[in-house]
Structure 1
Amino acid sequence: MNNNTSLIWNIVLTLAVAVLFFLHFSSKPSAGSVTDGGVVAGRKTVYVQVDSLLLNYDFFKDTKKELENKNFQLENELNQKGRSLQNEVAFFQKKAQTMTPDQARSTEAQLMKKQQDLIAYRDQAAQGLAQEEALKNEELYKNIRTYIEKYNKDNGYEYVLGYSLGGGILFANPDLDVSKKIIEGLNKEYAAKDKPAAADTTSKK
């Protein structure tokens, strides 16, 4: 079965296509002169390395592992059901000559029904995983955007760019890289979200 839960590539593509995070524009335009190259002096711009963000954000790592495990379990389940059905078909083929025409037709119809049910179950389960992945993607993007907006309130950047190898940005000054700070903040918030649930579980014991 094709793996439709390639979370990391979906997110990388999403963030690479939307190269700019258009966040918190200052309500008061910055005073700056236009240089010969057309760049406005005094603009505050930083960037986040998308690949590094995805590799080090605990929410993403946990979500990726969770979806991979579910996909692995589904594949195993489908393989087991498929082998079981193959065994039934093989047994039917061996015994078909000893059956009456009605018995053969009835057994064949039952096997076809089982095959159709297995295909329908596979498609429904794959669709369910795809929907769950889409929701996780949405939550991931929301978490990142919300935190960057919060982070930006204290810093007043006009642009926070998403930088990735092969993306639209050909060069990025390392001095403008805020990836580490963003990742630390995201992981801190993610860890804080898990604490209440852990506390509730402990209190119930």
Structure 2
Amino acid sequence: MKNASLFLNVILTIAVAVLYYLHFKDGQPEAAPVSSAPAEAKGRAIVYVNVDTLLTKYDYFKDTQKVLESKRFQLENDLAAKGRNLQNKVAFFQQKAPTMTQEQGRATEASLQKEQQDILAYRDRAAQNLANEEQSKNKQLYDQIYDYLKKVNAQNKYEFVLGYTKGGGILFADPAADRTKIVLDGLNKEYKNKQPKK
């Protein structure tokens, strides 16, 4: 969860930087006329989204975590079953070893070692596939949040949308600039609308 939070924080920061760059790349600011009276400068809004809240309450993230957790659980059960099966074969071999010829014993031992290596290779492949799927889901999560923020920013013209997380890089955030609920409600609404009707 902490890695996902850090990942989402980094991604939101990158998204904000890209939005900022895209907005200001076309035109250079014109030189302002020099005035003798000081003028109050008013920039566009800087708002933030609480990443921890977003991760715990965004339905897409919760559904994705459930699917990945189910796959992890299934993999662990599968590996445990394969391990028990191998242990049974080893125990059977140890019982029958005294009655086997040396050649039969070596062949059976080699077969058991190969089966153990196959199980380890299967575990590594499955873990890598699961990690790749998790990375893909994190990218989809980032894309959904980025696309939504881009759409919302077209209406609100925020200069920055920061990702706030307790203990992160932002030490204080004014609650008046918190847009977490608005962004979360919008993301959940879009996600719900994309789901097949039951």
Same fold (TM over 0.5): yes
Q: Residue 154 of structure 2 aligns to which amino acid in structure 1?
A: K
> Which residue pairs with 1:183 in the alignment?
184
Q: Which moved more, 1:15-24 or 1:89-98?
A: 15-24
After superposition, give the CA deviation of every residue in 1:111-163 in whole Å (9 maximum; x if it has no partner).
11111111111111111100100100100011101100101100011111111
1:4 aligns to what?
A: none
CA distance in 2, matches of 1:19, 1:146: 11
Per-residue deviation, 1:55? 0.7
The answer to whether structure 1 residue 128 and structure 2 residue 129 are counterparts is yes
Q: In the aligned structure 2, how far is the partner of 1:44 from the partner of 1:142?
A: 23
1:187 to 1:75, Cα distance in 2 relative to 1, 3 A? same
1:13 offset after TM fit, Å? 1.3
| Residue in 1 that maps onto 2:80 | 79
Is the contact made by 2:12 and 2:146 (CA closer than 8 Å) also made in structure 1? no
Residue equivalent to 1:37: none
Runs (5+) with no aligned partner, structure 1? 1-7, 32-39, 200-205
* 1:22 matches 2:23: no
Which AA in structure 1 matches 2:180? S
1:40-189 matched pairs, under 5 angstroms: 41-189=42-190
Matched to 1:22, the amino acid is: A
Q: Hey, what does 2:36 align to over in structure 1?
A: none
- Code of the aligned partner of 1:115: Q
Looking at structure 2, the residues matched to 120 and 166 of structure 1 have their Cα atoms a distance apart, in angstroms, of 39
CA contact (8 A) 1:24 1:153 kept: no
Separation (CA, whole Å) in 2 of partners of 1:158 and 1:190: 25
AA partner of residue 115 (structure 2): K
- TM-score, normalised with respect to structure 2: 0.85
Distance 1:183 1:89 in 2: 54
Q: How many residues align?
A: 182
TM-score w.r.t. structure 1 length?
0.82
> 1:145-195, CA deviations, whole angstroms, 9 ceiling, x for partnerless residues?
110010110001111111110111111111110100100110111111113
Q: Judge conservation of contact 1:147–1:186 (CA < 8 Å) in 2.
A: yes
Q: Sequence identity of aligned pairs in percent?
A: 55
Q: For 2:150 and 2:12, how far apart are their aligned partners in 1?
A: 16
Please, what is the CA RMSD of the aligned residues?
Answer: 2.0
1:35 aligned residue: none
